[in-house]
């Protein structure tokens, strides 16, 4: 009697533990980005081309993180962490850069990499790199291990050092943005990650990769090609 | 001293040991070939050989333990109620002790010598390697080729030429792991660590970070290719000059 009771308790424990693990696994597997997808808008007059428009802000007051900037109103952020674009198309990307900057950890990220033509435009001027001490953020897309995709696009976004703040968005005020434009081809359907490679996320370990750089939804996100 | 019934029951132990050893040896040969990455360097091949050899040597030891467990569970399990009476104590068996210690010592010394030899082979250099400066940062690998203008997010190396990786990090500790070369070493900030290998097959390679390094650690990989020497030269020449 005692043995069968112990066996029952042991079996129930194993089943409960297995169920908890399965539930956690299901929750992780079905987790999705929390922001409304930023989709690609077809460009009139250009076949197989669409455009997306992002921004980088020095704080989270603009609105995507909720009223009053959400839980971390002082964290830097992209304007969306969930970009969705079509496969086998050219994507025209525009990024409005509102934040200040400095030097990246690695000068490799001062360069424009992976765009059509190997360049971008900064306020309409064609360029291939940004000065070593003039990086505000980067917009870096790369493949996810194991999916066989090799897309790598990295754009240095120049620091915006203006001390005038005429632009009002949400409850925040910002300088006139530096407008960076570039395009690249998506290839087949898959999901990429994008993030910033400039140490803009607070001082964890003194390297600037804490806070906004170590939390999804601020300086990183998914770039879905479908 | 075993009784006649004890000797008979030991037959099941020996049969179990033999069968489990055969199964273990077969698995030790099959599993690494089936599930380890496709190796494309001398060190990668050595890693697979070492894995197979050590597993084959360990198979009879593990099989002996399992066979003994099966034997005692089958023959010596106490089926009564309450506390079982004390079993007959076997205090010494010189032949078994000497055999066990000798075999264990020989196996241990062998794997030690083999392992040190494999480690030395991984760290040795032929004298004219292709140097690649590897930089890890949250969460991207970059590869620079000293003496050229090339810095890339892809690792391209020529076939059948020794490569010396000089590995460092600009932020936290990363783990530089070229999966298909069977080499890995930590990328530490402020320190350059070198490791050598010689690619011996053409094809695609994968580089991963194997030290947890932050939010996007799981996505910190890079692709690369082992190409012919002429393709490597052409690739270097085709790369844009970066600031």
Q: Is residue B225 part of a domain?
A: yes
Do A111 and A13 share a domain, yes or no? no
- Tell me the residue range of the domain where B25 lies: 4-76+95-123
- Quote the pLDDT of residue B1: 44
Q: pLDDT for A1-19, tens place per residue?
A: 556 777 888 899 999 999 9
Please state, in angstroms and rounded to a whole number, the distance separating the CA atoms of residues B107 and B62: 13
Render B28-87 in DSSP notation, one character per residue: HHHHHHHHS----BHHHHHHHHHHHHHHHHHHHHHHHHHHHHHHHHHHS---SSSSPPPP
Band of pLDDT at residue B243, cut at 50, 70 and 90 = low
- CATH number at A142 reads 2.60.40
Rg over CA atoms, chain A: 21
Q: Is residue B189 part of a domain?
A: yes
The whole-number average pLDDT for the span B59-69 is 93
| pLDDT score of A224 more than 80 | yes
| pLDDT score of A168 more than 70 | yes
This model of the complex carries an ipTM of 0.80
Give yes or no for B241 touching A (CB within 8 A).
no
Do B169 and B149 share a domain, yes or no? yes
Q: What percent of chain A has pLDDT over 90?
A: 56
Band of pLDDT at residue B218, cut at 50, 70 and 90 = confident
Do B195 and B134 share a domain, yes or no? yes
The whole-number average pLDDT for the span B9-36 is 91
Q: Is residue B81 part of a domain?
A: no
- Residue of chain B whose Cα is closest to the Cα of A193: B219
Asked whether the beta carbons of residue A107 and residue B243 sit closer than 8 angstroms, the reply is yes
Cβ-Cβ contacts under 8 Å, B153 against chain A = 108, 113, 142, 152, 154
Do B135 and B228 share a domain, yes or no? yes
Do B113 and B9 share a domain, yes or no? yes
Q: Is residue B119 part of a domain?
A: yes
The whole-number average pLDDT for the span B73-92 is 80
Q: Number of folded domains in chain A?
A: 2
- CATH number at B142 reads 2.60.40.420
Q: Number of folded domains in chain B?
A: 2
- Quote the pLDDT of residue B156: 96
Asked whether the beta carbons of residue B206 and residue A150 sit closer than 8 angstroms, the reply is no
Three-class secondary structure of residue B207 per DSSP = strand
In this structure, are strands B221-227 and B155-158 parallel, antiparallel, or unpaired? parallel
Give yes or no for B137 touching A (CB within 8 A).
yes
Residue A178 contacts by C-beta under 8 Å, 6 or more apart in sequence?
Answer: A96, A97, A122, A123, A136, A157, A158, A160
b/e per residue, B39-62, with b = 16+ CB within 10 A?
bbbbbbebbbebbbbbbbbebbee
Q: Which residues pair with A173 in a beta bridge?
A: A168
Nearest to A76, CA basis, from A65, A91, A89, A92: A65
Q: Is residue B198 part of a domain?
A: yes
Do A19 and A121 share a domain, yes or no? no
- For an interface test with A, which of B135, B169, B171 has the most A Cβ atoms less than 10 Å from its Cβ? B171
Among B142, B172, B240, beta carbon nearest to A207: B172
Do B32 and B109 share a domain, yes or no? yes
Give yes or no for A199 touching B (CB within 8 A).
yes
| pLDDT score of A206 more than 70 | no
- Tell me the residue range of the domain where A9 lies: 1-31
Q: pLDDT for A75-91, tens place per residue?
A: 999 999 999 999 999 99
Asked whether the beta carbons of residue B216 and residue A195 sit closer than 8 angstroms, the reply is yes
Do A98 and A202 share a domain, yes or no? yes
Give yes or no for B239 touching A (CB within 8 A).
no
- Quote the pLDDT of residue A205: 60
Mean pLDDT of chain B: 89
Do B111 and B137 share a domain, yes or no? no
Q: Is residue B85 part of a domain?
A: no
Do B32 and B50 share a domain, yes or no? yes
The 8-class DSSP code of residue A74 comes to T
| pLDDT score of A102 more than 70 | yes
Cis-peptide into B139, omega within 30 deg: yes
Band of pLDDT at residue B123, cut at 50, 70 and 90 = confident
Q: pLDDT for A138-164, tens place per residue?
A: 999 987 766 666 789 999 999 999 999
Cα-based torsion angle of the residue sequence A118, A102, A168, A75 in order, rounded to the nearest 10 degrees: 110
Q: Could you tell me if A222 and A190 are in contact, meaning their C-beta atoms sit under 8 angstroms apart?
A: no
Nearest to B210, CA basis, from B239, B238, B182, B170: B182
Q: Is residue B187 part of a domain?
A: yes
The rounded Cα B45 to chain-centroid distance in angstroms is: 10
Do A137 and A216 share a domain, yes or no? yes
As a whole number of angstroms, the longest Cα–Cα distance in chain A is: 84
Do A121 and A184 share a domain, yes or no? yes
Q: What percent of chain A has pLDDT over 70?
A: 92
Nearest to A84, CA basis, from A215, A218, A186, A196: A186
Do B14 and B114 share a domain, yes or no? yes
Band of pLDDT at residue B82, cut at 50, 70 and 90 = confident
Asked whether the beta carbons of residue A128 and residue B243 sit closer than 8 angstroms, the reply is yes
- Residue of chain B whose Cα is closest to the Cα of A205: B172
Cβ-Cβ contacts under 8 Å, B156 against chain A = none
Do A18 and A81 share a domain, yes or no? no
Give the CA angle between residues A121, A122, A126 to the nearest 5°. 40
Q: Is residue B144 part of a domain?
A: yes
Do A89 and A196 share a domain, yes or no? yes
Do A161 and A195 share a domain, yes or no? yes
Name the domain boundary from B103, B123, B143.
B123
- Residue of chain B whose Cα is closest to the Cα of A144: B219
Band of pLDDT at residue A95, cut at 50, 70 and 90 = very high
Q: How far is A113 from chain B (nearest CA, A)?
A: 9
Cβ-Cβ contacts under 8 Å, B151 against chain A = 108
Asked whether the beta carbons of residue B170 and residue A209 sit closer than 8 angstroms, the reply is no
| pLDDT score of B216 more than 60 | yes
Do B65 and B12 share a domain, yes or no? yes
Band of pLDDT at residue A127, cut at 50, 70 and 90 = very high
The rounded Cα A7 to chain-centroid distance in angstroms is: 50
Q: How far is B184 from chain A (nearest CA, A)?
A: 17
Please state, in angstroms and rounded to a whole number, the distance separating the CA atoms of residues B93 and A203: 64
Q: Which residues pair with A42 in a beta bridge?
A: A50
Q: pLDDT for A38-86, tens place per residue?
A: 999 999 999 899 999 999 999 998 878 877 888 899 999 999 999 999 9
> Tokens 């042991």 appear where?
A10
Do A66 and A151 share a domain, yes or no? yes
Residue B229 contacts by C-beta under 8 Å, 6 or more apart in sequence?
Answer: B158, B159, B161
Q: Could you tell me if A95 and A180 are in contact, meaning their C-beta atoms sit under 8 angstroms apart?
A: yes
Stretch 72-111 of chain A: residues touching chain B, C-beta under 8 Å: 105-108, 110-111
Do A177 and A154 share a domain, yes or no? yes
Give yes or no for A206 touching B (CB within 8 A).
no
| CA dihedral for B226, B231, B233, B234, sign (positive or negative) | negative
The whole-number average pLDDT for the span B109-137 is 88
Do A172 and A220 share a domain, yes or no? yes
Do B104 and B146 share a domain, yes or no? no
Do B200 and B222 share a domain, yes or no? yes
């Amino acid at each position: 009697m005692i043995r069968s009771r112990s066996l029952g308790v042991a079996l129930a424990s194993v089943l409960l533990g297995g169920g908890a693990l399965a539930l956690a696994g299901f929750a992780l597997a079905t987790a999705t980005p929390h922001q409304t997808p930023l989709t690609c808008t077809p460009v009139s007059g250009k076949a197989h081309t669409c455009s997306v428009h992002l921004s980088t802000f020095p704080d989270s007051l603009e609105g995507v993180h909720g009223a009053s900037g959400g839980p971390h109103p002082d964290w830097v952020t992209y304007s969306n962490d969930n970009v969705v674009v079509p496969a086998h198309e050219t994507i025209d990307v525009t990024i409005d850069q509102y934040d200040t900057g400095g030097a990246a950890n690695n000068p490799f990220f001062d360069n424009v990499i992976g765009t059509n033509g190997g360049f971008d435009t900064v306020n309409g001027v064609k360029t291939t790199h940004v000065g070593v001490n003039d990086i505000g953020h980067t917009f870096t897309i790369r493949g996810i291990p194991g999916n066989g995709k090799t897309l790598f696009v990295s754009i240095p976004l120049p620091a915006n050092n203006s001390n005038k703040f005429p632009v009002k968005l949400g409850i925040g005020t910002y300088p006139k943005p530096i407008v960076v434009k570039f395009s690249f081809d998506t290839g087949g359907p898959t999901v990429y990650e994008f993030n910033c490679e400039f140490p803009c996320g607070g001082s964890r370990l003194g390297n600037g990769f804490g806070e906004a750089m170590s939390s999804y939804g601020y300086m990183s996100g998914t770039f879905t090609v479908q | 001293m075993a009784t006649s019934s004890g000797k008979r029951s030991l037959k099941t132990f020996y049969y179990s040991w033999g069968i489990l050893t055969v199964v273990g040896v077969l698995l030790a040969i099959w599993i690494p070939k089936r599930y380890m990455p496709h190796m494309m360097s001398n060190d990668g091949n050595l890693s697979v050989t070492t894995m197979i050899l050590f597993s084959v040597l360990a198979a009879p030891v593990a099989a002996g333990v399992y066979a003994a467990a099966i034997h005692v569970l089958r023959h010596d399990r106490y089926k009564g109620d309450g506390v079982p009476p004390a079993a007959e104590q076997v205090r010494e068996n010189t032949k078994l002790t000497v055999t066990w210690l000798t075999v264990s010592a020989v196996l241990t010394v062998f794997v030690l010598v083999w392992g040190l030899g494999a480690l030395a082979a991984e760290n040795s250099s032929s004298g004219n390697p292709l140097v690649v400066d590897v930089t890890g940062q949250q969460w991207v690998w970059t590869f620079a080729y000293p003496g050229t203008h090339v810095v890339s997010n892809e690792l391209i190396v020529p076939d059948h030429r020794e490569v010396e990786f000089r590995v460092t990090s600009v932020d936290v500790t990363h783990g530089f792991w070229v999966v298909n070369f069977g080499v890995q070493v930590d990328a530490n900030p402020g320190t350059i660590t070198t490791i050598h290998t010689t690619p011996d097959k053409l094809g695609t390679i994968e580089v991963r970070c194997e030290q947890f390094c932050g939010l996007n650690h799981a996505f910190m990989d890079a692709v690369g290719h082992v190409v012919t020497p002429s393709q490597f030269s052409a690739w270097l020449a085709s790369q844009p000059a970066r600031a």
